[in-house]
Structure 1
Amino acid sequence: MNGKPNTTKAQARAEAQRERILSAAQQCFIEHGFHAASMASIAETAEVSAGLIYRYFANKNAIILAIVDRQLELLRNDIQLNRQVDLAAEMADNYGRTRTLDSRGMNAALLLEMSAEATRDPQIAAALDHYDTTLRAALIDWLVRGKQTGGHELPADAARARALILQCLFEGLKLRETREPQLDRTLLTAALQEFVPLLLKP
């Protein structure tokens, strides 16, 4: 026996523990803020020892960087799907849903917390800059891609400008979530359906 099944099982368990810690940390950051959330509170929420957390993450910065990476991977995979997307409908449907922990999108309050911390911490600022750059590149690829693979066949120059506007719109809606969680969905849907298709036209 070469021990590979046991190695695979151990790796799966380690990955599950890591994800559990990240989910608990995200919950603590959202509920208490980045600075008020201690490693002890994260350990308690994750129902693990603080020592176990330090096996995976050196400090809170390392945890928040891992959360950024995880969210970016989810978004990138979603954008790369070869399917036709009613973007306006999805944006309206997702409004407010990123307030939950099981959402694929970045939680609005957490994004604000990270953005504030980025003004003080160059490492987090660099991670968010990488997040922005990678997401914009994925949006550009989606906009220029052929329609048979779910894209919109925009010229490259137009795609760069539209990707920027879309990114601003995504982030603006996240900010709006924190200030107006009960926004009239009918009004939001109508507004998005009027203007978003204009950004996707060649």
Structure 2
Amino acid sequence: MSAPNEARDARHRLRQDEIIAAGRRCFRKEGFHGASMAQLAAEARLSVGQIYRYFTNKDAIIEEIVKRIIDARLAHMEKTAAINMSEMLAWRLALNEDDEALMMEVAAEATRNPVVAAMMIEADNRMFTHACSNFKRAYPQLSDEHIRACVEVLAVLTEGTSWRRLTPQKASAERLCALYQQFNDLLFKTEEK
């Protein structure tokens, strides 16, 4: 690729990053459904027409935000394969509070917008497949069906914990951690034949 093309591509990526950053701020304030392209353009200090040069519509911006959030989560999963899930759940830890809030916005928008609902399905498929692969490496003795069931249960716990962060915790994190660890041990126990 020639230097002028590389420079143009770098400028294009930089502008997209700026629009995504502005979109994240705008969507956090107004929600996906409530934020208009005019508001997003003002937040990005661009015209609406300039934004359309980089993204075909608001859904395309949402899709890129979701993709980046899932990419970050997958990268984190790779770096911290041995992370203690029980501690994360018990202390209601989040990788990124803004990402968590934006994904709640995505979930709300998915109830109104079939395009965003499809994005959620794709994001879930990526996370689920990746988690299954990781757990299969850690527990090769378990069947694929058992691994899928375990990942489904852990997804429910993790996603439920995201929603529970909105309310005060009603049990001690230490006690919850012990219970989650017992639950985890039971989940990944060798299957009965």
TM-score by length of 1: 0.78
Sort the Cα spacing of 1:23 and 1:201 in 2 relative to 1 into closer, same or farther, 3 A.
farther
Within 5 A, what are the aligned runs for 1:27-42?
27-42=25-40
Instruction: Tell me the alpha carbon deviations over residues 141-190 of structure 1, each in whole angstroms, 9 at most, x when there is no partner.
Output: 11111xxxxx343512221111001111111111112x22x547x82354
Structure 1 vs Structure 2 CA RMSD? 2.5
TM-score by length of 2: 0.81
Within 5 A, what are the aligned runs for 1:48-63?
48-63=46-61
Contact 1:43/1:53 (<8 A) preserved: yes
Instruction: Tell me the alpha carbon deviations over residues 122-142 of structure 1, each in whole angstroms, 9 at most, x when there is no partner.
Output: 211111111112211111111
- Could you tell me which of 97, 100, 125 is aligned with 1:107? 100
2:8 corresponds in structure 1 to 10
Contact 1:154/1:201 (<8 A) preserved: no
1:195 corresponds in structure 2 to 180
* Rounded Cα–Cα distance in structure 1 between residues aligned with 2:178 and 2:22: 36
Within 5 A, what are the aligned runs for 1:52-131?
52-81=50-79, 83-91=81-89, 95=93, 98-100=96-98, 106-108=99-101, 110-131=102-123
2:127 corresponds in structure 1 to 135
* Rounded Cα–Cα distance in structure 1 between residues aligned with 2:97 and 2:79: 24
1:103 corresponds in structure 2 to none
Sort the Cα spacing of 1:143 and 1:30 in 2 relative to 1 into closer, same or farther, 3 A.
same
Unaligned runs of at least 5 residues, structure 2: none
User: What is the number of equivalent residue pairs in this alignment?
Assistant: 186
1:153 corresponds in structure 2 to 140
Instruction: Tell me the alpha carbon deviations over residues 31-61 of structure 1, each in whole angstroms, 9 at most, x when there is no partner.
Output: 1112221112212222333222111112211
* Rounded Cα–Cα distance in structure 1 between residues aligned with 2:80 and 2:164: 30
* Rounded Cα–Cα distance in structure 1 between residues aligned with 2:80 and 2:176: 26
Unaligned runs of at least 5 residues, structure 1: 101-105, 146-150
